[in-house]
Amino acid sequence: MALKYLTAPPSSIESERLFSAGGDIYEATRSRLKADNGEYLMFTLFRIIKPKKNFFMAVDGCAPRAKMNQQRSRRFRTAKEVGISIENAIQRGETLPKGDSFDSNCITPGTEFMDRLHQQLKYFINYKISTDPLWKHCVVHFSGHNVPGEGEHKIMDYIRYCKSKPDYDPNTRHCLYGLDADLIMLGLSVHEPHFCLLREEVRFGAKSNIVLSPGDQVFHLLHLSLLREYLDLEFSSMKESLEFEYDLEKIIDDWIFLGFLVGNDFVPHLPHMHINHDALPYFYSVYKDFLITADGYINEGGVVNLTRLKQFFGCVSDFDYELFAEWKKTSSGIKSKNEENDKKIFSLENPDGTEGFANAFANFSFNGSLQKKSKKLIKVKGSDKDLAIVDEFTEHKQNYYAEKFGMNVKNNIEMQTICSNYVTALQWISHYYFNGLQSWSWYYPYHYSPYMSDLASFELEKISMDLGTPFRPFEQLLAVLPAASGKLLPKAFQ
């Protein structure tokens, strides 16, 4: 959209409120810099933005169970990969560094490192308030690792709290510093007209290994007001076609919700729907056609309209078959020099059971673009389907569910349970982004997601959850740390 609706960027970056989601600390840790370098990075951010009213710094505290599961999976996988790398290095006769290597898992809430960092940051903030004129006239909030919740979501809770006050100024300018990709979605979710994101320049190749001091770092600024305008330009042409009032804020809510379908930190992505294969443009194209026939929006301020969601899933229910059929037709005319690669295309031994399929299909026909096929995909009728390919696709899905879920695809009750759990996950995520945490203890109970063609079979009338209580820091450490990081636990827990 930035290329489609090119415009000049705003020049001003001053803001009333500056927020840091702990990215400065994690960036310093990632680069193995000292804590005082992290403080200097915070100082640099303050100098760039010059907040007039507030500076809110939030470090990750204990995460909800759904996020802890993802953290555990990622850290155990990383520990296994590191172990394999060390074994391979030993077999090659390489000399390994002596002493303990730096363990990035030390940034988990509850570790001794995080406690020392917490005290150091408190000292630094107090020092700056008492000595720096820029800090003296700014209210500073610090939410440390001892306060439950992810850093960026603690910030969103604070913004929603400020907006609820009767004297809130709607023209307040916000700037959020952080490294997570979902900050765009979070920034849009609060519907503020003046909201920008700040982060370091992303470098690739050999440059990515060069550690820069905070003073030499290049920063990029994204004005979400521009993205809001782009979205309006993209969807406003539908105004006359809708049976209900066109509302940009609700369009944005749905736009964010559709993003959950191609990847998030809480559930596995849908099979074959990869963001690097232009899955998002495909969903947005289908969404436009869906909205013309619908009676309203899918995401109602963080509450999913289940009836409309079911209708939307019906619009994309033929996608899996068409993707499979297109691959079959294209690949059948190509004699591969490597038959083993062809066998792996639909192999269920891939990490998510789908990567081979998606990569092969992108190379064969889409050239990485699902959007080009979207109109065709949503207009497929049952009578147009090749029965032989239907049988092959059905067999492939049966193998997928048997391998990944240990179930018979013909078991309608179990299929409804899986799909209903996935839809419940979408509701939990939506509420988390727009209204705050709905449940500390909820989590998606499977390692894989159902096929998109099956999602319309979910049977839910209402979704409710108990908020529960957050986990304690040592409980989270026990849950997410691999054995190789056991030294980070207190001795009593080792």
Q: How many helices (H) and strands (E) does the chain have?
A: 18, 8
How many C-beta atoms surround the C-beta of residue 136 within 10 A?
A: 11
**pLDDT given at position 24:** 59
- Give pLDDT, residue 278: 74
pTM: 0.85
d(CA 355, CA 332): 20
**Structural tokens at position 479:** 């849950």
Give the pLDDT confidence score for residue 342 in this predicted structure.
43
Q: Which long-range contacts (CB under 8 A, 24 or more apart) does 95-103 make?
A: 100/487, 102/32, 103/484, 103/485, 103/487, 103/488
The pLDDT profile of the chain, 494 residues, written as one tens digit per residue, is 544 544 544 444 678 899 988 765 655 555 544 445 556 677 778 888 889 899 999 999 999 999 999 999 999 999 999 889 888 888 888 888 877 778 889 999 999 999 998 998 899 899 999 998 888 889 999 999 999 999 999 999 999 999 999 999 999 999 999 877 789 999 999 999 999 999 887 766 655 555 555 566 788 889 999 999 999 999 999 999 999 999 999 999 999 999 999 888 899 888 888 777 678 888 899 999 999 999 999 999 999 999 999 999 999 888 888 888 888 777 665 444 444 444 444 455 544 444 443 343 334 333 444 444 444 444 444 556 678 888 888 888 999 999 999 988 777 889 999 999 999 999 999 999 999 999 999 999 999 999 998 998 898 888 999 999 999 999 999 999 999 999 999 988 88
Residue with tokens 């406690």: 115
Distance CA 270, CA 198 (A): 30
pLDDT, position 86:
87
Which residues, 6 or more positions from 37, have their beta carbon under 8 angstroms from its beta carbon? 28, 31, 213, 214
Q: In this structure, are residues 447 and 33 in contact, taking their beta carbons and an 8 Å threshold?
A: no
Based on the number of CB atoms within 10 Å of its own CB, is 2 exposed (0-12), middle (13-18) or buried (19 or more)? Answer: exposed
Contact 425, 444 (CB under 8 A): yes
CA distance 282 to 308: 18
User: First CA to last CA across the chain, in angstroms?
Assistant: 51
**pLDDT value for 28:** 56
Torsion angle of the four alpha carbons 473, 478, 481, 482, in this order, in degrees rounded to the nearest 10: 170
User: How many Cβ atoms sit within 10 Å of the Cβ of residue 393?
Assistant: 21
Residue 153 is predicted with a pLDDT of 96
Residue 274, classified by CB atoms within 10 Å of its CB into exposed (0-12), middle (13-18) or buried (19+), is buried
Residues in the chain: 494
Amino acid at 334: I
pLDDT score at 66: 95
Which structure tokens are listed for 420?
Answer: 């209903």
Other C-beta atoms lying within 10 Å of the C-beta of residue 251: 21
Q: How far is CA 308 from the centre of its chain?
A: 23
Tokens of 293: 């026939």
Contacts of 262 (CB under 8 A, 6+ apart): 269, 270, 273, 274, 275, 279, 280, 283
Phi, psi of 408 (to 5 degrees): -90, 125
The pLDDT score that the predictor gives to residue 457 is 85
Provide the edge-to-edge strand list for the sheet that holds 139-143: 139-143, 54-58, 17-20, 174-177, 195-200, 219-223
